[in-house]
Amino acid sequence: MNAKSPSSLSGAQVDREHAHHLLHQMLRIRRFEEKSAELYTLMKIRGFLHLCIGEEAVAVGVCEALEPEDGVVATYREHGNALARGISASAIMAEMYGKQEGCSRGRGGSMHIFDDKTRFYGGNAIVGCGLPLAVGLALADKMQGRKRVTCCFFGDGAIAEGEFHESMNLAALWHLPVFFVCENNLYAMGTALERAQSVTDLVRKAASYNIASSAVDGMDVLTVEAAAKEAVNIVRREQEPYFLECRTYRFRAHSMFDPELYRSKAEVEKWKKRGPIVTLVKRLKKQGLLSDVELEQLEQQVAREIEEAVAFAENGTWEPVEDLTRFVYSERG
Amino acid sequence: MSKNEMIQITYREAVREAIREALRRDERVFLLGEDVGRYGGCFAVSKGLLEEFGPERIIDTPLSESGFTGAGIGAALGGMRPIVEIMTVNFSLLAADQIINNAATFLHMSGGCFNVPLVIRMSTGGGKQLAAQHSHSLEGWYAHIPGIKVLTPATLEDARGMLWSALEDPDPVLIFEHQSLLNMEGQLLANAGAVDIDRAQIRRPGSDLSVITYGASLFKALEAAEILAGEGIEVEVIDLRALRPLDDATFLTSIASTHRALIVDEGWRSGGISAEICARIMEGAFYELDAPVERICGAEVPMPYAKHLEEAAMPQVEAIVTTAKRMVRSNG
């Protein structure tokens, strides 16, 4: 793959059932987050809420490439990664409600989704702080002779952090099976990449650490999936890190407190035309792989799941205040 | 080897023996840090371990405190039992993000999903003329943070025995080894092993005044107590051993019999662990006191290089003696 012109599979034929699965996953994320935004305005969800609407293809395409035993480290914009990884919408919604049935018992909220069953290590809200963790998880796998991959999501903003550079160096130096996935949505909060980086070609940065690296069109789920599978194969087989830059775009504001002064509406509209869901739907319809009825069925299935998730969160319970100081230290016995 | 056989050993060797024992006992244990391997550790603590255990368990790292400390956290999450060595407490500030935002928070933030069984060792304290970027005492500052444990081994027994207990702990433990203690030599039981890591110890009993201290200041307090005994003043010297959890029961009980308390802390006075101890005495033993609690702390300056200035910036025996006399002779 060539960094200068991200590869794309937009013309390729795909398996009907698999394409429906990918579309379903992206729709789950999209509708889940739209519902989250609505619930935020109703004050059911509080704190910071960062939506990944527009970036669904990255979460879905990458998680398709992972095995159940692999690990995932994500950022504070992680609902999509968590859903695609297999954490239930109910557990995530309950978490955002702050209920003890949430995946982090309501102690983390939107930014700190955790799940041991899927080896989902957050939900990390200090930009860049997840990368060293991924290095360590991979080190543990290597030391214990396991062929697992640790997938580490981070945004373009993290590239400016020292922890990115330290982690790239360590992963390459120690030959660790880390799959670094940069969700490059062009803005670190409100700071455009070219205003933050002297070198904006992120693949070159990874390559400078002697890490195999490539960039893909992060708006195309099939492209992301193919690139991720190839990358994960390399990581697992070679026991070496890989850096994949997914060029994507956040359609919504950075958080719920963002008037978006730093970018134009025209720019957002231009990217929306390339949205991962509309383009996949259009392509599948054109190829005769998706009917209106099937799309409607998928939407209904997703709507039911989200309805159930909201009901689960609504019916969830508050952890007793007496339990406030639990989980500061491990409970023994 | 008889049960009571003693060996002559330095603090440095005691720590090394502790690391060696841990590496032998548990294959999940490994040592990670700057120059811990070929160089033998910047304070020579890990000298010889690379030859004995190999580069896969004695891992030299680049100068990436945040990166390798975070890697230690990740490895702990992945089922290993890493010992991360950071050269000095000042350098640990480069890893503060990983220690405070990750290691200390993960268990709670994940609602109990993920604990971090990690040990971080680092040197602390002054007395070696290493000036303002290698000599500070920030262990009290780390003790502010819930989610981690803070140990300050002062004796050979603790240097030898705290590491294994820390490794058995399911949560992150920071061990602060005082630079000026590394060459301290003495007798230690040949079969010395793990010790508890949550209780203070009375190192010298006395009835007139409780001196509460930890780390290298312990030995200054004991020296002062010896001098004071010659003048008829019996000082009880308490070695805190751990700053978090802080065993306040031990010093509150002591104060209930001595009715006077003096805190000796190499850390800065303002907002330091001495202030916390003082506050706990006010909360838990106010009516026991016959005199105000006093503190002898590090002077509020970045540590100077020149020997006479460095000495003036740290608690010294003479100040402990003078203060203790004044406190005991005041009529409460």
Question: Which alpha helices (H) appear in chain A, and where do they start and end?
Answer: 16-41, 56-64, 79-85, 89-97, 130-143, 162-173, 193-196, 202-207, 221-238, 265-272, 276-286, 292-315
In a domain, A326, yes or no: no
**What pLDDT digit, counting tens, does each position of A20-73 carry?**
999 999 999 999 999 999 999 999 999 999 999 999 999 999 999 999 999 999
Q: What is the pLDDT of residue A333?
A: 62
pLDDT below 70 — which residues of chain B?
1, 331-332
In a domain, A322, yes or no: no
Q: State how beta strands A212-217 and A242-247 pair.
A: parallel
| Segment (H or E) for B26 | none
Residue A322, token pair as written in the block: 């007496």
Q: What is the span of the domain harbouring residue A24?
A: 16-313
Report d(CA B231, CA B216) in Å as an integer: 24
Query: B74 and A330: CB-CB below 8 Å?
Result: no
**What pLDDT digit, counting tens, does each position of A281-291 carry?**
999 999 999 99
Is the pLDDT assigned to residue A5 strictly greater than 70? no
Number of independent structural domains in chain A: 1
Q: Does the CB of B80 have a partner CB in chain A at under 8 Å?
A: yes
Q: What is the pLDDT of residue A66?
A: 98
Minimum distance, in Å, between the CA of residue B145 and any CA atom of chain A: 10
In a domain, A1, yes or no: no
Of B113, B122, B215, B100, nearest to B166 by C-alpha is: B122
Is the pLDDT assigned to residue A1 strictly greater than 50? no
Beta carbon pairs, A and B, within 8 Å: 149
Query: A133 and B73: CB-CB below 8 Å?
Result: yes
Q: Does the CB of A138 have a partner CB in chain B at under 8 Å?
A: yes
The residue of chain A nearest to residue B96, with distances taken between CA atoms, is A129
Asked whether the ipTM of the predicted complex exceeds the cut of 0.90, the reply is: yes
Instruction: State the Cα torsion B69-B75-B76-B82 to the nearest 10°.
Output: -60
**What pLDDT digit, counting tens, does each position of A258-289 carry?**
889 999 999 999 999 999 999 999 999 999 99
Report d(CA B246, CA B109) in Å as an integer: 23
Active-site annotation of B, residues: 65, 134
- CATH 3.40.50.920 in chain B is located at 201-329
In a domain, A194, yes or no: yes
Cβ-contact B77, A137 below 8 angstroms: yes
Q: What angle do helix axes A276-286 and A56-64 make, rounded to 10 degrees?
A: 70
Report d(CA A265, CA A304) in Å as an integer: 32
Minimum distance, in Å, between the CA of residue A241 and any CA atom of chain B: 15
Q: Which of B113, B149, B198 to mutate to test the interface with A (most CBs of A within 10 A)?
A: B113
Q: How would CATH label the architecture of B201-329?
A: 3-Layer(aba) Sandwich (3.40)
**What pLDDT digit, counting tens, does each position of B172-213 carry?**
999 999 999 999 999 999 999 999 999 999 999 999 999 999
**Which CATH number do you get for residue A148?**
3.40.50.970
CB atoms closer than 10 angstroms to residue A264: 9
Q: Which residues of B touch A116 (CB under 8 A)?
A: 113-114
| Segment (H or E) for B72 | helix B65-77
Cβ-contact B107, B114 below 8 angstroms: yes
Q: How would CATH label the architecture of B6-189?
A: 3-Layer(aba) Sandwich (3.40)
Minimum distance, in Å, between the CA of residue B109 and any CA atom of chain A: 5
B111 closest CB neighbour out of A71, A105, A133: A105
C-alpha distances in angstroms, A308 versus A81, A317, B217?
Answer: 20, 16, 61
Per the prediction, chain A carries an average pLDDT of: 95
Q: What is the pLDDT of residue B270?
A: 97
Q: pLDDT category, A12, cuts 50, 70, 90?
A: low
Q: Does the CB of B198 have a partner CB in chain A at under 8 Å?
A: no
Q: pLDDT category, A10, cuts 50, 70, 90?
A: low
Per the prediction, chain B carries an average pLDDT of: 96
Q: pLDDT category, A332, cuts 50, 70, 90?
A: confident
In 3-state terms, what secondary structure has residue B96?
helix
Q: The sheet that has B29-33: what strands, in order across it? A: B58-60, B29-33, B81-88, B119-124, B173-178, B149-151, B242-244
Report d(CA B164, CA A108) in Å as an integer: 32
C-alpha distances in angstroms, B202 versus A128, A169, B161?
Answer: 45, 47, 17
Q: Which of B110, B120, B144, B148 to mutate to test the interface with A (most CBs of A within 10 A)?
A: B110
Residue B175, token pair as written in the block: 């061990």
Is the pLDDT assigned to residue A221 strictly greater than 70? yes
Residues in a beta bridge with A7:
A216
Q: What is the pLDDT of residue A2?
A: 40
